[in-house]
């Protein structure tokens, strides 16, 4: 079983894959690991809350992209590896984001730079605007590092200016996000890797800027398909409830209900009494059966 399924997070601890069973899970002493009693830690009793803060996923919402169609400059021109390039000088702000895969056709949507190159991509928004966050779609190139495994060594810092002369740092992108930090409304590729990704940098408070500079330090052959400047990035708790909420009015004394296979609410005691078999679904009551007959 994958470690992230055992821990509820991703497969990384401190940037490394987990070794051995998750804490609290029983182990086979003959298979190695654990202590002499065959336990990797305190026993976990099924159905008992072990305590700790409950993890709640987050839903991301993105505002207006202020950089679409805007002009930009580059301190180092793009290479043409695997079809990369920017013949019209518009690719990075054309609104087209490349795939979340590395290799294949990905470079054909991108600009590319080589290991060791340091590049400044400076976008002119035309006038000072309130900026709430930034995004950059970045990946390989080669090698095809997986961001979810903590493999990405490239760095990207964002700097902003109102006059194009004096720049101040707005922060750096986290290019190795943990699985739990990804928004719940993101659909990962089938094999659940991130060889390329549209990375976020949300600001705690909006800042005023006309010029936005993406300062990229490449540690491999790297591809960038798009840079974005957003008026806001919102991240809000989004609880994935498995059970239906209890709809009984507080203090009503009404018996809890369950749903029959066709979606009709039935009081729980009746559903249990009408159960077709010990572990089966609750069946329809006699009135409903007579109607069907």
pLDDT in tens, 147-203: 999 999 999 999 999 999 999 999 999 999 999 999 999 999 999 999 999 999 999
Residue 244 has pLDDT above 90, yes or no: no
- Nearest CA to 194 out of 214, 173, 212 is that of 173
How many beta carbons lie within 10 A of that of residue 57, not counting itself? 14
DSSP alpha helices (H): ranges in the chain?
3-7, 268-273, 286-292
Residues near 160 by Cβ (< 8 Å), separated by ≥ 6?
131, 167, 168, 170, 207, 209, 211, 212, 213
Q: Where are the domains of the chain?
A: 1-55, 59-237, 257-292
The DSSP H or E segment spanning 241 is none
Global pTM?
0.69
| CATH architecture, range 59-237 | Sandwich (2.60)
Residue with the larger pLDDT of the pair 45 and 236 = 236
Range of 3-7, 55-59, 284-288 with top mean pLDDT = 55-59
* pLDDT tens readout for residues 108-133: 999 999 999 999 999 999 999 999 99
Residue 216 has pLDDT above 50, yes or no: yes
Mean pLDDT of the chain: 80
7: β partners: none
Residue 31's pLDDT is: 46
* Distance (Å, whole) CA 135 – CA 172: 11
């Amino acid at each position: 079983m994958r470690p992230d399924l055992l821990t509820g997070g991703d497969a990384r601890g401190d940037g490394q894959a987990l070794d051995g069973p998750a804490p609290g899970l029983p182990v086979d002493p003959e298979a190695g690991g654990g202590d002499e009693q065959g336990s990797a830690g305190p026993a976990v009793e099924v159905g008992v809350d072990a305590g700790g803060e409950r993890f709640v996923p987050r839903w991301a919402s993105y505002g207006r992209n202020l950089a679409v169609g805007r002009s930009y400059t580059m301190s180092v021109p793009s290479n043409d590896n695997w079809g990369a390039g920017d013949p019209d000088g518009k690719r990075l702000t054309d609104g087209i984001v490349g795939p979340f895969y590395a290799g294949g056709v990905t470079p054909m949507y991108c600009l590319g730079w080589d290991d060791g190159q340091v590049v400044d991509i400076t976008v002119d928004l035309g006038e000072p605007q309130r900026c709430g966050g930034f995004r950059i779609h970045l990946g390989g190139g080669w090698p095809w590092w997986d961001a979810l495994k903590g493999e990405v060594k490239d760095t990207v810092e964002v700097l902003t200016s109102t006059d194009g002369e004096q720049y101040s740092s707005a922060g750096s992108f986290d290019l190795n996000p943990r699985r739990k930090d990804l928004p719940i409304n993101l659909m990962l590729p089938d094999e659940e890797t991130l060889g390329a990704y549209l990375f976020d940098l949300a600001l705690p408070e909006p800042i005023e800027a006309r010029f936005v500079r993406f300062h990229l330090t490449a540690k491999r052959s790297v591809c960038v398909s798009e840079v974005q400047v957003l008026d806001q990035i919102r991240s809000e708790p989004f609880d994935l409830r498995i059970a239906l909420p209890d709809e009984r009015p507080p203090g009503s004394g009404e018996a809890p209900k369950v749903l029959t296979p066709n979606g009709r609410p039935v009081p729980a005691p009746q559903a249990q009494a009408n159960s077709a078999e010990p572990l089966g679904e609750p069946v329809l009551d006699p009135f409903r059966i007579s109607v069907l007959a």
